Structure 1
Amino acid sequence: MSERDLLTVGEALVSLRSSGPLAAGGPLTMHLAGAESNVAIGLARLGHRAAWAGRVSDDELGEFVLRQLRAEGVDTTDVRRDPQRPPGVMFLERRTADVSRVRYLRAGSAGAALDVDDLRAPLAAGARLLHLSGITPALSDSARTAVAWAVRTAAESGIPVSLDVNYRAGLWSREDARATLTPLAGYAAVVIASTDELDLVTEAGADERDAAADLVRRGVSTVLVKLGADGARAWTADGVEHVPAVPVTAVDTVGAGDAFTAGYLSGHLDGLGLTDRLRRAAALGAFAVAGHGDWEGLPRRDELSLITGSAAGTTLR
Structure 2
Amino acid sequence: MVTFLPTRPGRLADVPSFERAIGGAESNVACVLAAAGHTTRWVSRVGADGFGDHLVETVGSYGVDVSFVRRDPARPTGVYFRTAGDRATDQHEVAYYRAGSAASAMSPAHVDLGAVRAGRVLHLSGITAALSGGCLELLRMLTAPGPCRRPVSFDVNYRPGLWRDPGGPEVLLELARRCELVFVGTDEAEAAWGVTGGPEAIRALLPEPSVLVVKEGARGATAFDGRPGRPAAGTSCPPGFGQSCLPQSLKDLGGPPGGTGGRSGTPQARANETRPRPATAPPAFQPAPTVDVVATVGAGDAFAAGFLSATLRGLPVRECLRHGHLTAAAALTVPGDLAAPPARGHADRLAALDDQAWGRLRLGPGWTQAEQATEEAITP
TM-score by length of 1: 0.87
- Residue matched to 1:69: 59
Which of 215, 219, 240 lines up with 1:230 in the alignment?
219
Which of 1, 7, 14 lines up with 2:2 in the alignment?
14
Tell me, what secondary structure is at the counterpart of 2:86?
Answer: coil
| Gaps in structure 2 of 5+ consecutive residues | 226-279, 351-366
- Residue matched to 2:131: 139
Number of residue pairs matched by the alignment: 297
Letter in 2 for 1:167: Y
Letter in 1 for 2:3: S
- Residue matched to 1:10: none
Say yes or no: does 1:122 pair with 2:115. Answer: yes
Tell me, what secondary structure is at the counterpart of 1:232?
Answer: strand
Tell me, what secondary structure is at the counterpart of 1:48?
Answer: coil
Return closer, same or farther for 1:54/1:113 CA change in 2, 3 Å cut-off.
Answer: same
Q: How does 1:1-317 map to 2 (within 5 A)?
A: 13-18=1-6, 19-20=8-9, 21-98=11-88, 99-117=91-109, 118-124=111-117, 126-152=118-144, 156-172=147-163, 175-198=166-189, 204-205=194-195, 207-208=197-198, 209-216=200-207, 218=208, 220-236=209-225, 237-304=280-347, 305=350, 309-311=374-376
2: CA distance between counterparts of 1:97 and 1:178? 29
Letter in 1 for 2:124: L
Return closer, same or farther for 1:63/1:131 CA change in 2, 3 Å cut-off.
Answer: same
Mean Cα deviation higher: 172-181 or 76-85: 172-181
What is the RMSD of the two structures over their aligned residues, measured on CA atoms?
A: 2.2
2: CA distance between counterparts of 1:103 and 1:251? 20
> Alpha-carbon deviation of 1:199?
5.9
* Contact in 1 for aligned 2:39/2:64 (Cα 8 Å): yes
Mean Cα deviation higher: 261-270 or 111-120: 111-120
Return closer, same or farther for 1:97/1:184 CA change in 2, 3 Å cut-off.
Answer: closer
* Contact in 2 for aligned 1:45/1:301 (Cα 8 Å): no
Mean Cα deviation higher: 238-247 or 78-87: 238-247
Tell me, what secondary structure is at the counterpart of 1:224?
Answer: strand
Mean Cα deviation higher: 300-309 or 173-182: 300-309
| Gaps in structure 1 of 5+ consecutive residues | 1-12
1: CA distance between counterparts of 2:305 and 2:183? 11
Tell me, what secondary structure is at the counterpart of 2:329?
Answer: helix
2: CA distance between counterparts of 1:69 and 1:181? 27
> Alpha-carbon deviation of 1:248?
2.2
Mean Cα deviation higher: 282-291 or 173-182: 173-182
2: CA distance between counterparts of 1:248 and 1:25? 27
Letter in 2 for 1:16: F
* Contact in 2 for aligned 1:119/1:150 (Cα 8 Å): no
Percent same amino acid at aligned positions? 36
2: CA distance between counterparts of 1:97 and 1:179? 32
Return closer, same or farther for 1:189/1:90 CA change in 2, 3 Å cut-off.
Answer: same
* Contact in 2 for aligned 1:38/1:259 (Cα 8 Å): yes
* Contact in 1 for aligned 2:330/2:339 (Cα 8 Å): no
* Contact in 1 for aligned 2:43/2:116 (Cα 8 Å): no
- Higher Cα Rg: structure 1 or 2? 2
* Contact in 2 for aligned 1:234/1:241 (Cα 8 Å): yes
1: CA distance between counterparts of 2:374 and 2:285? 20
2: CA distance between counterparts of 1:162 and 1:196? 20
TM-score by length of 2: 0.73
Letter in 2 for 1:53: V
2: CA distance between counterparts of 1:123 and 1:156? 16
Tell me, what secondary structure is at the counterpart of 1:53?
Answer: coil
Return closer, same or farther for 1:214/1:239 CA change in 2, 3 Å cut-off.
Answer: farther
* Contact in 1 for aligned 2:306/2:327 (Cα 8 Å): yes
Tell me, what secondary structure is at the counterpart of 2:56?
Answer: helix
2: CA distance between counterparts of 1:210 and 1:275? 21
